[in-house]
Amino acid sequence: MFSYSVANYTMSTPVTVSSPAPIAVPVTEAIVRALITLSHEGDYLNLGSSTSMSFTVKAGAGDDDIYMGAGHDIVYGSFGEDWIFARNGNDLVDAGSEDDFVSGGNGNDTLLGGSGDDELQGNNGTNRLNGGYGDDELYGSGINDVMQGGAGHDYLRFEGSSARMFGGDGNDAFVILSGIVRVEGGAGYDGINFGAGVVAIGGDGADGYSMWADMGERNGVSHIIGFNPEEGDTFNLFGYTPDQVAIDPRHSDRLILTDATGDRDVLVLRGVQIESVDWLNQQDWFSSDMYEQDGKGKVASADEFALTTDAFHVDIASASADYLFA
């Protein structure tokens, strides 16, 4: 049997609540502020995407499917693997335990993953996503989103206007497809993949960075800052056109610049000590590239150099004309 409770309502709009059993309970209410409690396993709740009233829903045990309306809703998951679609409105969803899926829809949403391996989708708006415990997947596409992986090995992906991304504990993976994004990997080995215009902060542990730029565009400056890189950070930089990358590695890091088209790319190393850069390797079979370093360093195989200190070591290995400015 299916049981439910509804409080604080007036009459007018139809809502259908049902369970896996062949029972459908029609409730005719216009909700001013309604509380719906699902107390059986495997419940199904669909309030209709056009329903503009606000609800508070408390799920029961079992694997529940919950589809909210267009109001400013609050949903509490429970035990079981729940699927929760908040839809439109400024919503708060606490998925509860187990492995849950939560989609925020349009609006400024707060999505909390809980203790399982959860998938959270922020969609449009200004959203806050927190995976909590477990190995979670977080997807953001809004404006000024805040994405927190929490404990566990998390995957965070963003394609929107702007965001702040925090990996937390564990070995996390970041993918940034667009926008201005600040990344803090946190403890553990974090893989950070991004395009131009990103400020990336690695945090504790060894971090791996991969950076690319749009072909045919000058994308501005990306800043990569590695905290505690004595753990051994790795930077892979893919520059396609005249892009600038400003790198602030501290202690022992490895820097790799790969040029795919032969256009001029600029790599700027700021505040780098000789013990900080073990090797700078230009993997370029074209020409007209420049590397500029304003600290002590060691550079290999480039066409044009500009260094601003007296203490440096340079190996010239290209087949064409090379230039050195000291």
- Around Cβ 131, how many Cβ atoms within 10 Å? 32
Rounded-to-integer distance, Cα 203 and Cα 209, Å: 12
For 262, the domain range is 185-320
pLDDT band per the 50, 70, 90 thresholds, residue 220: low
**Domain for residue 189, yes or no?**
yes
Output 315 or 34, whichever has higher pLDDT: 34
pLDDT value for 52: 86
**Domain for residue 149, yes or no?**
no
pLDDT value for 315: 41
Tally of structural domains, the chain: 1
What's the rounded mean pLDDT across residues 300-305? Answer: 39
**Domain for residue 36, yes or no?**
no
Rounded-to-integer distance, Cα 96 and Cα 143, Å: 26
Rounded-to-integer distance, Cα 274 and Cα 296, Å: 5
**Domain for residue 170, yes or no?**
no
* CB 253 within 8 Å of CB 207: no
**Domain for residue 230, yes or no?**
yes
Output 24 or 121, whichever has higher pLDDT: 121
The model's pLDDT over 205-215, given as tens digits with 9 standing for 90+, comes to 667 777 765 54
Output 263 or 236, whichever has higher pLDDT: 236
DSSP E strands in 40-154: the ranges are 44-46, 54-58, 65-67, 74-76, 83-85, 92-94, 101-103, 110-112, 119-121, 128-130, 137-140, 145-148
**Domain for residue 96, yes or no?**
no
The model's pLDDT over 237-288, given as tens digits with 9 standing for 90+, comes to 665 444 455 555 544 344 444 444 544 444 444 444 434 444 444 443 333 3
Rounded-to-integer distance, Cα 134 and Cα 73, Å: 25
The model's pLDDT over 66-90, given as tens digits with 9 standing for 90+, comes to 999 999 999 999 989 999 999 999 9
**Domain for residue 148, yes or no?**
no
- Around Cβ 106, how many Cβ atoms within 10 Å? 16
pTM as predicted:
0.70
**Domain for residue 251, yes or no?**
yes
